[in-house]
Amino acid sequence: MIFKLEHSINERVKLPEKYGVELYIKREDRIHSFISGNKYRKLKYNLQEAQHLGFKTLLTFGGAYSNHIAAVAAAGKAFNFKTIGVIRGEELQNKINQNPTLSFAKNEGMQFEFVTREAYRNKTSESFLNHLENKFGSFFVIPEGGTNDLAVKGCEEILNKTDKDFNFICTAVGTGGTMSGLINASNQNQQILGFPALKGDFLKEDISKFVSKSNWKLIIDYHFGGYAKINEDLIGFINRFKADSNVPLDPVYTGKMMFGIFNLIENGYFPKGSKILAIHTGGLQGISGMNTLLKKKNLPLIK
Ligand SMILES: *Cc1c(COP(=O)(O)O)cnc(C)c1O
């Protein structure tokens, strides 16, 4: 068995009493220093499967700031797999050192295949995968973002028995794998709320493929214009939240989720007496990359 994963701690987030609700945050960001949060959960059974099938190499796909790329690189190093990252954007080839995510992944031993955006769209075509196999030898493919049946199974382990007391469980959503695992592990009387980090009209359908319950809902008002798009309101919120609670949030996923939760609390969305659990899915490695972009735009930085 290559993985031993503990349950993470729920920390109380202080809120003004007038709201009449309790908010806790599950620190999945703390389960490993480099294989962060939900990415670790999603990789667990995929890596076991790869090992079981005798693969020595993992191959996956992602953008220049991808938490998934960083996690696969680190997991490969930790569990003795070679790793290959197919990266969207040919131009990044010469900019690895300026990009904290790619430099980190390279340091963990990941080899890269940089491709044009057009080639990236066809990244799972047979001809492209054959080309990669000729170049790198055989490999176990982990999908972009890491979501498949085995990933959902891993995410079912985020919740434990004592979490049954919560009325609402909230998570950020990218591909929906994490949310699917939470839904499968939930009780029928709990509501799972997903906060998409992007305009994802396809998400409802995608999640439905992995779940059979109906106690869930996507809250689609807090994507801030799209994936990895942020503004000064969000930066201000993330910095205040850290100053008040000592919990860092990432700008792409957990910051948007928590912004949304606070907004809903202020608007009286949750009935009085509700106990809310927000999953901290990690992603903190993305802060320095985002700060590089913010600096160029002369915007305030994430502290
Ligand atoms: C990848 C990621 C998500 C999205 O997870 P999905 O399973 O793709 O929905 C959420 N939060 C963080 C921090 C992530 O890195």
Q: Is residue 301 part of a domain?
A: no
- Do 121 and 43 fall within a single domain? yes
Predicted model pTM:
0.96
Q: What is the mean pLDDT of the chain?
A: 95
C-beta of 38 in contact with ligand 1 (< 6 A)? yes
Using CA positions, which residue lies closest to atom 14 of ligand 1? 283
CB of 196 within 6 A of ligand 1: the answer is no
How many structural domains does the chain have?
2
pLDDT per position as a tens digit, 110-165: 999 999 999 999 999 999 999 999 999 999 999 999 999 999 999 999 999 999 99
Q: Are residues 22 and 99 in the same domain?
A: no
Position 10 scores a pLDDT of: 96
Locate 179 and state its tokens: 């949310």
| Beta strand spans in the chain (E) | 10-13, 22-27, 57-62, 82-88, 111-115, 140-141, 168-173, 191-196, 216-218, 275-280
Based on the fold, state whether residues 14 and 72 are members of the same structural domain: no
Which structure tokens are listed for 123?
């990244």
- Looking at the fold, whether 185 and 95 belong to one and the same domain comes out as no
Of ligand 1's listed atoms, the one at least distance from the Cα of 284 is: 13
Instruction: Mark whether 113 and 208 lie in a shared domain.
Output: no
| Residue 4 falls inside a structural domain | no
**Owning domain of residue 267:** 10-33+156-296
Contact between residue 42 and residue 155 where contact means Cβ atoms under 8 Å apart: yes
- Is the same domain home to 164 and 250? yes
Closest-CA residue, ligand 1 atom 15, reads: 283
Q: What is the CA radius of gyration of the chain?
A: 19
DSSP category for residue 83: E
Q: What is the pLDDT of residues 192-247, one digit of tens each?
A: 999 999 998 899 999 999 999 999 999 999 999 999 999 999 999 999 999 999 99
In a domain, 302, yes or no: no
The encoded tokens of residue 39 equal: 């990415």
CATH number where 23 lies: 3.40.50.1100
Q: Which of 95, 128, 146 is the last residue of a domain?
A: 146
Best residue among 26, 178, 183 to mutate for probing ligand 1's pocket (most ligand atoms within 8 Å of CB) is 178
Q: How confident is the model at residue 1 (pLDDT cuts 50, 70, 90)?
A: very low
Task: Tell me whether residue 2 is in a domain.
Answer: no
Q: Is residue 187 part of a domain?
A: yes
The verdict on residue 209 lying in a domain is yes
